[in-house]
Amino acid sequence: MPRQLIREVRTPLPMEAGKPKRYDYHYERNGVVNLPVFFEPLAGWRTVMTRERRTKIDWAHCMRRLLDRHYPDAEKVILVMDNLCAYGPSSFYEAFAPEEACRLAQRLEIHYTPEHGSWLNMAEIENSAMARQCLSRRIPEKQVMEEETSAWSKRRNEEGAAANWRFRTEDARIKLRRLYPNIDG
C-alpha cells in the first residue's frame, strides 16, 4: 500500500472549544513509502513493514523477514496474495545467494486470489482499517510512519482483531463458477 509522506508547511492550529484542529492546505511532499501488510486472519495477527520502494527485491526482503522473524519454526508458510502481484519465489533468486533463495522458496507456499477478486484478499480489509485508524493524517517521515504503523499493528494484535470471513466454499462455487472447472461434461 503506497503512502505519501507529507510535511506541514505551516503549523496546524490546535483544537478549540467548538472548532476542530485546522490544517493549511499547503504541504510539502516528502517522498513515498510502501506499506506491505501481512495478516494471519484466524490468529488476529498482522505486521506492517515500511519500504521505500515496491520491487521484487523489496518483496524478497519482506518475505525473508516474515519467514525468519515471525515464523522461524514453521516448515511451510501458506501465503495468499493478490493475483496482480508479480512477485514470487523467483524474486528470492534476484535478491539472495542461491542457497538462501532456495531455503526461503521451499518454506513458502503461494496461493493467488482470483483475477478480479482482490476483494477476497483479507489484507485489503486490514489496509482499509489501517488507513482509517492510523494514516488519516499527514505523516512527514519514514521513521514516523514506521512508529505509527508499528503501534497500530501492536494495538490490533493485542485486541485480537481477526477477520470474520463469511465467504464459504459453497458460496464461492456459485459466485465464482466461471473459475471452477466443469467436470460434468
Residue 164 covered by a domain? yes
Residue 48 covered by a domain? yes
Cα four-point dihedral sign 38, 39, 45, 48: positive
The CA dihedral of 41, 47, 52, 53, to the nearest 10 degrees, is -30
pLDDT tens digit sequence for 111-165: 887 776 655 667 788 888 999 999 988 889 999 999 999 999 999 999 988 877 7
What pLDDT is recorded for position 20?
A: 85
The C-alpha cell of 24 is what? 493549511
Residue 125 covered by a domain? yes
Residue 2 covered by a domain? no
Region of 45 (left: φ > 0; alpha: ψ -120 to 50; beta: rest) is beta
Cα four-point dihedral sign 34, 107, 122, 154: negative
Q: How many structural domains are present in the chain? A: 1
What pLDDT is recorded for position 142?
A: 94
Instruction: Determine the Cα–Cα distance for residues 98 and 77; give it in Å rounded to an integer.
Output: 20
134 three-class SS: coil
pLDDT tens digit sequence for 54-94: 889 999 999 999 999 999 999 999 998 876 667 889 999 99
Of the listed ranges 99-108, 124-133, 163-172, the least confidently predicted one is: 163-172
Residue 163 covered by a domain? yes
Residue 13 covered by a domain? no
Whether 33 shows a pLDDT value over 90: the answer reads yes
The answer to whether 57 and 95 are in contact (CB under 8 A) is: yes
Q: Which residues pair with 32 in a beta bridge?
A: 4
Range of the domain at 88: 33-139+149-179
pTM above 0.75, yes or no: yes
Whether 181 shows a pLDDT value over 80: the answer reads no
